[in-house]
């Protein structure tokens, strides 16, 4: 693969919680407009991995990281790099919908823009509108933008969180099991949404659901006990895995 | 963008520094108060303070033996009256606490606990002092009313910390509910409950307002519980407001004793709890 | 089938089960009785104090609360100055204490590492353990002279045009009482704020950080804006404590029933006049008037604490249930 269309390049990444070695020597390349799924059993480092990509891992007390992550050619762990700036270039959607309880639907989406220093009201409105459309939520909330974000249903809240992340137009979106707290219908809508998103941005999604990975991702990585066992085209991972551990997992013989 | 970014960094720094400053402001008063109490109190305290009766105004020497004994008696009586009652109420709120009644009583207990202590003094004045005069009994009654809700709420909270599987294990053995509570749950919560009781004692030992017009005060040892009785906090108050330097000195000595008592109890219960927790986890 | 099983099992054990039930029932009744005792206690407090206060309330009616007249010799009583003293000293205390309490709560919960937050948290909590009388003594002999010689001259120079800082520096007075009260209510407000902040899920904080918020922006968006109602509850609880605080205030406020805007002037609060006069009331009406003030204090404390607890518990429920 050429370096030119690689948006994210991870080189020998290690992470710890205190003395627990949570990620071991991960190196991987993510290309522009990829949807990459991270699969594997619980507690194997998938979430830790994506939290290293926007430097959220280090917010936990006792957590440590070593290695390099290049976002658009710049090492986010390089000297003098400010996580605040990096996190604006790489959005995140969490496991449970977490809209800001004190803010309205509109403000939940606008907050990222306002933090970025966007003052012009029409400009903010335009971006909020775009983000809510992009998250397929606009039609449902256009008449109640002033209501609190928490008044929406779970699935709507999660799409609100996606809109919030999209509003600042990051080139990369991290999703940490975004549908695990949702019902099947909401899950379906979010999967559809991810399919649309890959036209414009790169998505890295953690999922515990292999069918979901097969449905939405063009590339898949399998994590086990802090190691990235195998990474490749989704079809190849599911149909012709190279590593026996991957095969055991995808054929359901794990554990 | 760059300007906005620098402004945000600046606001961030200033705000965090402000929060740090406020935290320092909050932590400083304890130092300031205890340093002055130590300084002035150590200069005034002596063995006589614990063993002698007060001298007349303007005279050197003397002590607060009567007040220390009076405080001990009234706090002791209050403990004897409030601990069984409060503990039982705590058991109800923790072990049978899901009902509407229990929630209502918990709320009542909270209200009692936050009633100004001077109001408790008035209550006891109307209930007892009006009929029998100022006495150690009346003082002890006031302290009981103050201590009761604290004992009830802290024991409730400590009992709630006992995991449910302890209760289920007991019930599964066929033990009746009351035996499960008395034999299994209470012992499991013992150190926490004792901690709560100690803190409640420390709190009432320093109470002044409810004693002002229930136990009143006394310059000598009281001969019975039906007489006006001195207490350390009230004596400190009276001496602090006196124009005589010697008495003010004694007030600082009394304050030192009170503060040391409170700090020692707080520190030791904390250490006790911490070692217990470390052992169990 | 289950019916058969239950009847065959029930017959031989019936009498013994009854005994168990009886012992359990007695135990339940006893502990429930003691808990109801709390209610009885609260109600009897209301009745006893109300009864004693009745003569004065009947004599003066509403006038009692709106006139400023405390004439123990002429047996004429109006509590306005005392209400003013209580409210004003509490406001001064809140103005000082609220930012400090919220700040220290933020620091301890959100910023400080464990090794620092534990001891500092202990220092703040200990403020609540020191007896009121000790604050009074310290306020009278240390703080008041310090205010008189250092702080008040400075305030007069900087803000002397405001009526709040008018007149000669006296040390003892409203300002001194407010500062002492502020110290005393800080642990209350701070600890409730800490509970409230702790009820906010980590995910809400990470949402802000994930958007590229600075630490302060995260605190503002995820913590402060989310917890407004809880913090209000904490402040009301602190207010309740300030209203009822007696000894420390009595010792540093100067004990004169007057309504002066200047914070340098001595004043009297509802609680402090009780400490000063209750044991030596001149007449039955005087005693009844004092009790009426106590009753008033009691009712205010019930309302204030009741509503604050309601607000805080509602906030915590919302946070637990919602996200």
Beta-carbon pairs below 8 A across chains A and B:
13
Asked if residues B54 and B66 have their Cβ atoms less than 8 Å apart, the reply is yes
What is the number of H-type helices and E-type strands within chain B?
14, 0
Chain A positions touching chain C (beta carbons under 8 Å): 54, 56, 59, 61, 83-88, 91-92, 94-103, 111-112, 115-116, 150, 161, 164-165, 168
Between vectors from CA A157 to CA A154 and to CA A163, what angle results, nearest 5°? 150
Alpha-carbon gap, residue C73 to A125, rounded angstroms: 71
Q: CA of B3: which chain A residue's CA is closest?
A: A117
Q: CA of B16: which chain C residue's CA is closest?
A: C216
Pairing of strands A90-93, A172-176: parallel
User: What pLDDT does residue C69 have?
Assistant: 87
Q: Chain A contact for B2, CB < 8 A? A: no
List, as ranges, residues 180-209 from B with C-beta within 8 Å of C.
Answer: 181, 199, 202-203, 205-209
Closest partner CB to B92 (pick from C34, C217, C246): C34
Chain A residues with CB-CB distance to C219 below 8 A = none
Asked if residues C200 and C230 have their Cβ atoms less than 8 Å apart, the reply is no
Pairing of strands A74-75, A63-71: antiparallel
Asked if residues A189 and A159 have their Cβ atoms less than 8 Å apart, the reply is yes
User: What pLDDT does residue A243 have?
Assistant: 92
Q: Mean pLDDT across chain A, nearest whole number?
A: 91
Against a cut of 0.80, is the pTM above it? yes
List, as ranges, residues 81-140 from C with C-beta within 8 Å of A.
Answer: 113-114
- Does an H or E element contain A8, and which? strand A6-17
Residue A255 has pLDDT above 60, yes or no: no
Chain A residues with CB-CB distance to C316 below 8 A = none
How far lies B272's CA from each of B153, B265, C15, in Å? 20, 10, 45
Q: Chain B contact for A80, CB < 8 A? A: no
How far lies C183's CA from each of A136, B25, C42, C116, C132, in Å? 52, 10, 29, 21, 11
Q: CA of A97: which chain C residue's CA is closest?
A: C323
Alpha-carbon gap, residue C165 to C271, rounded angstroms: 24
How close B13 comes to chain A (CA, Å)? 13
Alpha-carbon gap, residue A251 to A222, rounded angstroms: 13
Chain B residues with CB-CB distance to C37 below 8 A = 85, 89
Neighbours of chain A (3+ CB pairs under 8 A): B, C
Q: CA of B9: which chain A residue's CA is closest?
A: A84
Maximum CA extent, chain B: 82
**Does the distance separating the beta carbons of B8 and A84 come in below 8 Å?**
yes
Alpha-carbon gap, residue C245 to C272, rounded angstroms: 8
Which pLDDT tens digit goes with each residue over B93-150?
999 988 888 889 999 999 999 999 999 999 999 999 999 999 999 999 999 999 999 9
List, as ranges, residues 72-101 from C with C-beta within 8 Å of B.
Answer: 99-101
Residue C230 has pLDDT above 70, yes or no: yes
Question: Which SS3 state, helix, strand or coil, does residue A245 take?
Answer: helix
Average pLDDT over residues C192-197: 95
Q: Chain A contact for B5, CB < 8 A? A: yes
**Does the distance separating the beta carbons of C274 and B121 come in below 8 Å?**
yes
Q: How many CA atoms lie within 13 A of A33 on its CB side?
A: 5
Residue A133 has pLDDT above 60, yes or no: yes
Average pLDDT over residues C47-52: 97
User: What pLDDT does residue B142 have?
Assistant: 97
Using a 10 angstrom Cβ sphere, with 0-12 exposed, 13-18 middle and 19 or more buried, the burial of residue A139 is exposed
Neighbours of chain B (3+ CB pairs under 8 A): A, C
Question: Which SS3 state, helix, strand or coil, does residue B226 take?
Answer: coil
**A40 conformational bin, left if phi > 0, alpha if psi -120 to 50, beta if neither:** left
Residue C166 has pLDDT above 90, yes or no: no
DSSP conformational letter for A65: E
List, as ranges, residues 228-247 from B with C-beta within 8 Å of C.
Answer: 233, 236-237, 240-241
Q: Chain B contact for A116, CB < 8 A? A: yes
Nearest to C273 by CA among C67, C54, C78: C78
**Which of A79-83, A171-175, C243-247, C299-303 shows the lowest per-residue confidence on average (mean pLDDT)?**
A79-83
Neighbours of chain C (3+ CB pairs under 8 A): A, B
Centroid of chain to Cα B261: 10
Residue C6 has pLDDT above 70, yes or no: no
Q: Which of C199, C200, C209, C210 should be substituted to probe chain A, the one whose Cβ sees the most A Cβ atoms within 10 Å?
A: C210
Q: Chain B contact for A102, CB < 8 A? A: no
ipTM: 0.94
Q: Chain A contact for C201, CB < 8 A? A: yes
User: What pLDDT does residue C301 have?
Assistant: 95
**Does the distance separating the beta carbons of A115 and B8 come in below 8 Å?**
yes
Select from 3.30.460.20, 3.40.50.300, 1.20.1250.20, 2.40.50.140 the CATH code of A3-250.
3.40.50.300
User: What pLDDT does residue C7 have?
Assistant: 40
Residue B5 has pLDDT above 90, yes or no: no
Show the DSSP H helices in chain A as ranges.
Answer: 46-53, 83-89, 105-115, 121-134, 138-141, 154-167, 184-197, 210-216, 234-239, 244-250
Average pLDDT over residues C244-270: 95
Q: Mean pLDDT across chain C, nearest whole number?
A: 90
User: What angle do the packed helices B190-205 and B136-160 form, to 10 degrees?
Assistant: 150
Chain A residues with CB-CB distance to C213 below 8 A = 84, 115
**Does the distance separating the beta carbons of C298 and B115 come in below 8 Å?**
yes
Which pLDDT tens digit goes with each residue over A190-249?
999 999 998 999 999 999 888 999 999 999 999 999 999 999 999 999 999 999 999 999
Chain A residues with CB-CB distance to C206 below 8 A = 56, 59, 92, 94, 98
Which pLDDT tens digit goes with each residue over C12-39?
444 555 566 788 899 999 999 999 999 9
**Does the distance separating the beta carbons of A115 and B5 come in below 8 Å?**
no
How close B274 comes to chain A (CA, Å)? 21
List, as ranges, residues 206-235 from C with C-beta within 8 Å of A.
Answer: 206-214, 217, 221-222, 225-228
**Percentage of chain B exceeding pLDDT 70:** 97
Question: Which SS3 state, helix, strand or coil, does residue A212 take?
Answer: helix
Q: Chain B contact for C197, CB < 8 A? A: no
- Does an H or E element contain B276, and which? helix B245-280
How close C133 comes to chain B (CA, Å)? 7
3-state SS of chain C? Answer: CHHHHHHHHHHHHHHHHHHHHHHHHHHHHHHHHHHHHHHHHHHHHHHHHHHHHHHHHHHHCCHHHHCEEEECCCCEEEEHHHHHHHHHHHHHHHHHHHHHHHHHHHHHHHHCCHHHHHHHHHHHHHHHHCCHHHHHHHHHHHHHHHHHHHHHHHHHHHHCCCHHHCCCCCCCCHHHHHHHHHHHHHHHHHHHHHHHHHCCCHHHHHHHHHCCCCHHHHHHHHHHCCCHHHHHHHHHHHHHHHHHCCHHHHHHCECCCCCCCCCCCCECCHHHHHHHHHHHCCCHHHHHHHHHHHHHHHHHHHHHHHHHHHHHHHHHHHHHHHC
Q: CA of C206: which chain A residue's CA is closest?
A: A56
Asked if residues C248 and C184 have their Cβ atoms less than 8 Å apart, the reply is yes
How far lies C16's CA from each of B70, B200, C13, C155, in Å? 51, 41, 6, 79
Q: Chain B contact for C6, CB < 8 A? A: no
User: What pLDDT does residue B278 have?
Assistant: 43
Q: Chain B contact for A242, CB < 8 A? A: no
Closest partner CB to A100 (pick from C207, C209, C228): C207
Confidence of residue B264 (pLDDT cuts 50, 70, 90): very high
- Does an H or E element contain B29, and which? helix B2-44
Residue C184 has pLDDT above 90, yes or no: yes
Closest partner CB to B177 (pick from C24, C44, C271): C24
Q: Which of A84, A117, A120 should be substituted to probe chain B, the one whose Cβ sees the most B Cβ atoms within 10 Å?
A: A117
Alpha-carbon gap, residue C191 to C185, rounded angstroms: 10
Question: Which SS3 state, helix, strand or coil, does residue A211 take?
Answer: helix
**Does the distance separating the beta carbons of B207 and C131 come in below 8 Å?**
yes
Residue C141 has pLDDT above 90, yes or no: yes
Q: Chain A contact for B1, CB < 8 A? A: yes
> Domains, chain B, ranges and CATH?
69-232 (1.10.3720.10)
Residue B279 has pLDDT above 50, yes or no: no
Closest partner CB to A87 (pick from C201, C204, C211): C211
Tell me which of A52 and B270 has the higher pLDDT. A52
Average pLDDT over residues C197-222: 94
Alpha-carbon gap, residue B234 to C279, rounded angstroms: 13
**Does the distance separating the beta carbons of C217 and A102 come in below 8 Å?**
no
């Amino acid at each position: 693969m050429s370096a030119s269309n690689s948006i994210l390049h991870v080189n020998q990444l290690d992470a710890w919680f205190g003395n627990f070695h949570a990620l071991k020597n991960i190196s991987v390349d993510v290309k522009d407009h990829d949807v990459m799924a991270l699969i594997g059993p619980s507690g194997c480092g998938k979430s830790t991995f994506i939290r290293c990509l926007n430097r959220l891992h280090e917010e936990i007390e006792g957590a440590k990281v070593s290695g390099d992550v290049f976002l658009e050619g710049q090492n986010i762990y390089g000297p003098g790099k400010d996580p605040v700036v990096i996190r604006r270039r790489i959005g995140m959607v969490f496991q449970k919908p977490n809209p800001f309880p004190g803010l309205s639907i509109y403000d939940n989406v606008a907050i990222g823009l306002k933090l970025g220093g966007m003052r012009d009201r029409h400009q903010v409105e335009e971006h909020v509108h775009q983000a809510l459309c992009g998250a397929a939520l606009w039609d449902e909330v256009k008449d109640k933008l002033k209501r609190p974000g928490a008044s929406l249903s779970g699935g709507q809240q999660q799409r609100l969180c996606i809109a919030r992340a999209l509003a600042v137009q990051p080139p990369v979106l991290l999703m940490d099991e975004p549908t695990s707290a949702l019902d099947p219908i909401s899950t379906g809508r979010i999967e559809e949404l991810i399919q649309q998103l890959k036209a414009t941005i790169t998505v890295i999604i953690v999922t515990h659901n292999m069918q979901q990975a097969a449905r939405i991702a063009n590339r898949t990585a399998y994590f086990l006990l802090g190691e990235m066992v195998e990474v490749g085209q989704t079809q190849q991972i599911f149909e012709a895995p190279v590593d026996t551990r991957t095969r055991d997992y995808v054929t359901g013989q794990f554990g | 963008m760059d300007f906005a970014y620098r402004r945000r960094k600046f606001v961030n720094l200033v705000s965090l520094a402000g929060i740090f400053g406020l935290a320092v402001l909050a932590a400083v008063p304890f130092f300031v108060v205890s340093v002055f109490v130590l300084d002035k109190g150590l200069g005034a305290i002596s063995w006589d303070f614990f063993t002698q009766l007060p001298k007349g105004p303007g005279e050197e020497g003397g002590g607060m033996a009567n007040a220390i004994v009076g405080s001990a008696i009234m706090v002791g009586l209050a403990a004897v009256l409030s601990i069984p009652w409060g503990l039982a109420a705590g058991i109800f709120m923790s072990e049978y606490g899901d009902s509407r009644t229990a929630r209502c009583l918990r709320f009542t207990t909270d209200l009692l606990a936050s009633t100004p202590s001077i109001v408790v003094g008035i209550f006891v004045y109307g209930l007892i002092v009006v009929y029998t005069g100022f006495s150690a009994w009346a003082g002890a009654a006031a302290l009981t009313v103050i201590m009761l809700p604290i004992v009830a709420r802290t024991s409730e909270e400590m009992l709630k910390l006992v995991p449910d599987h302890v209760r289920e294990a007991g019930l599964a053995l066929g033990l009746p509910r009351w035996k499960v509570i008395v034999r299994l749950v209470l012992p499991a919560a013992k150190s926490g409950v004792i901690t709560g009781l100690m803190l409640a004692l420390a709190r009432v030992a320093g109470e002044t307002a409810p004693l002002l017009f229930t136990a009143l005060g006394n310059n000598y040892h009281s001969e019975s519980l039906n007489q006006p009785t001195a207490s350390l906090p009230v004596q400190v108050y009276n001496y602090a407001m006196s124009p005589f330097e010697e008495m003010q000195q004694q007030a600082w000595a009394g304050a030192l004793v009170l503060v040391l008592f409170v700090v020692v109890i707080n520190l030791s219960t904390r250490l006790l709890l911490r070692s217990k927790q470390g052992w169990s986890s | 089938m289950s019916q058969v099983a239950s009847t065959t099992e029930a017959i031989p054990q019936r009498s013994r089960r009854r005994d168990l039930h009886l012992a359990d029932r007695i135990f339940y009744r006893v502990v429930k009785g003691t808990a109801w005792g709390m209610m009885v206690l609260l109600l009897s407090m209301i009745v006893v104090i109300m009864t004693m206060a009745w003569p004065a309330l009947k004599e003066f009616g509403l006038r009692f609360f709106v006139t400023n007249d405390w004439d123990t010799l002429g047996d004429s009583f109006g509590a306005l100055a005392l209400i003013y003293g209580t409210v004003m000293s509490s406001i001064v205390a809140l103005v000082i204490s609220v930012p400090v309490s919220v700040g220290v709560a933020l620091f301890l919960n959100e910023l400080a590492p464990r090794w620092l937050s534990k001891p500092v948290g202990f220092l703040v909590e200990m403020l609540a353990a020191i007896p009121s009388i000790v604050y009074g003594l310290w306020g009278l002999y240390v703080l008041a002279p310090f205010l008189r010689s250092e702080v008040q001259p400075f305030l007069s120079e900087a803000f002397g045009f405001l009526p709040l800082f008018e007149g000669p520096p006296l040390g003892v007075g409203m300002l001194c009482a407010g500062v002492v009260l502020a110290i005393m209510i800080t642990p209350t407000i701070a600890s409730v704020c800490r509970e409230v902040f702790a009820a906010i899920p980590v995910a809400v904080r990470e949402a802000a950080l994930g958007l590229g918020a600075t630490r302060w922006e995260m605190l503002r968006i995820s913590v402060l804006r989310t917890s407004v109602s809880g913090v209000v509850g904490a402040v009301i609880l602190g207010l309740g404590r300030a209203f009822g605080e007696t000894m420390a205030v009595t010792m540093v406020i100067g004990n004169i029933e007057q309504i002066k805007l200047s914070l340098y002037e001595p004043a009297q609060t509802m609680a402090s006049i009780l400490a000063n006069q209750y044991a030596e009331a001149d007449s039955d009406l005087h005693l009844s008037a004092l009790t009426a003030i106590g009753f008033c204090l009691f009712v205010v404390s019930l309302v204030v604490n009741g509503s604050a607890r309601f607000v805080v518990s509602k906030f915590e429920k919302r946070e637990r249930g919602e996200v």
